[in-house]
Amino acid sequence: MVVISPSKAGTEAKKGESKNRERNRKKAKELLREGKVREARECFQRCVDVTSEMAAEVIAACRARGVDIIVAPYEADAQLAFLNLQGIANLIITEDSDLVLFGCKNVMFKVDNNGGGVLVEHEKLHSAMNLPRDKYTFDKFRNMCILSGCDYLPSLHGIGLAKAAKFFTLTSNPDVYNALCKLPSYLKMPHLEVSQEYREGFIKARNTFLHQLVFDPMTRLLKPLTDYPEGKCAENFPYAGEFIGHERALQIALGNVNVQSGKTVDNFDPDKVLSQKSSDWRKKVSSKSHWSIWSSSFEAGKVATGVPNIDGCSIETTKGKQVEVKLPNLKRKRLSDNQVQQDNDFVEDDFQSLYGASNKKTKSITLDDGCLNNVDNQYEDKKELIKQIKISSNRNSPSFCSLIF
């Protein structure tokens, strides 16, 4: 399945993403001026702003291939975490390290084209921090990461992961709001200022990680990632998402409503699509062939057996079968050994004309090993003399070098 962020420009995370895009855009232009095309291309890819039209095309393409889509009611990070914690998704693939702070069980970063990557497991975080399990708590880990800087709160000047970890290792005060007042003394940074505004922002960031609104595709209800404290509701956490009602949240999750404009852009109904039949045998869809999270028979934590049959066609096994394929268009005349040798021969004049530094006439001499230092001093520019050297050797003849000057 794929989770799409609603791209709400007003959130703190989106403001940070906008700054990152602008930073990557400037860096890409600098790299391009320096001639570093590959590095510039990577930076340009990071500064692309995804529009609602792009998201609509992705949603349509995923549906056509039987891939479930959920548009998050607030942000994709919390929605991904909810799916993982509920057993709906076994693994999350992302490039955003903040996913770990939501309590995800398994997150994979830097996935390459071969399926390899870096797997971060929730149960082994204490080992990565070199802490015994009895002295480690996930709440302290989350606080440490927030203090070092996250999507919802920038870090204080001079505070990184190392100092943040040191502070929360030293302090035992569970009241983070008051504990932050002692940050300068604990870290021996007397000039560090921890304002009331920063401490309030810290509490908001922590609450956003805990109580951000998500959509449950099984119950089709809008709910917080973790339950609110007793006596609290969504109105007490307006920065963690606006409660817009369950039905509207469902339409947003299905991709039927443009979050930015509020207009209806589609009428996709998973209940009808999963049970519909078509006169075209190639487009027949059934709930058995597509194990969808929108299906009433879907069970969280249960592993689907077999390969989803998107087209509704029976797929026969090819085990033990042999198939002969004719490719008449790929016929070509085989070159003789002499022709291959001629094509591979090194033409010294052609090489010099392509890569030579000047159009001066050249002269070639052959020197035995060790003779390079005895070259007459009449050549003023020795760097130009030895600019191109071809060294070759075999078992029956001594090594030699050819100099072009």
Per run of 10 residues, the mean pLDDT along the chain (length 405 residues) is 75 64 87 88 83 87 91 93 94 90 93 89 86 84 93 91 90 90 92 94 95 95 94 92 93 90 88 63 48 82 54 60 64 60 49 47 50 49 48 41 37
Sheet holding 389-392, edge to edge: 364-368, 400-404, 389-392
- Which residues share a beta bridge with 70? 3
> Rounded to whole angstroms, how far apart are CA atoms 36 and 342?
36
* Cβ-contact 164, 101 below 8 angstroms: no
The predicted pLDDT at position 401 comes to 42
The predicted pLDDT at position 141 comes to 92
The predicted pLDDT at position 5 comes to 87
The predicted pLDDT at position 398 comes to 41
* Cβ-contact 76, 82 below 8 angstroms: no
The label of the residue with tokens 């339409």 reads: 251
The predicted pLDDT at position 133 comes to 81
Query: In the predicted model, what is the mean pLDDT of the chain?
Result: 77
In sequence order, what DSSP letters do the residues of 247-309 get, joined into one string? HHHHHHHHT-B-TTT--B-----HHHHHH---SSGGG---TTT---TTSTT--TTPPPPS---
The predicted pLDDT at position 100 comes to 92
> Rounded to whole angstroms, how far apart are CA atoms 57 and 358?
54
Structure tokens at 12: 């703190």
- pTM for this entry: 0.67
Report which DSSP code applies to 50: -
Mapping DSSP onto H, E and C, the string for 95-138 reads CCHHHHHHCCCEEEECCCCCCCCEEEEHHHHHHHCCCCHHHCCH
The predicted pLDDT at position 274 comes to 64
Structure tokens at 68: 């479930």
> Rounded to whole angstroms, how far apart are CA atoms 178 and 200?
11
Structure tokens at 201: 């922002």
> Rounded to whole angstroms, how far apart are CA atoms 288 and 309?
8
Report which DSSP code applies to 26: H
Closest listed residue to residue 9, CA positions, set 57, 54, 51, 64:
51
The predicted pLDDT at position 305 comes to 52
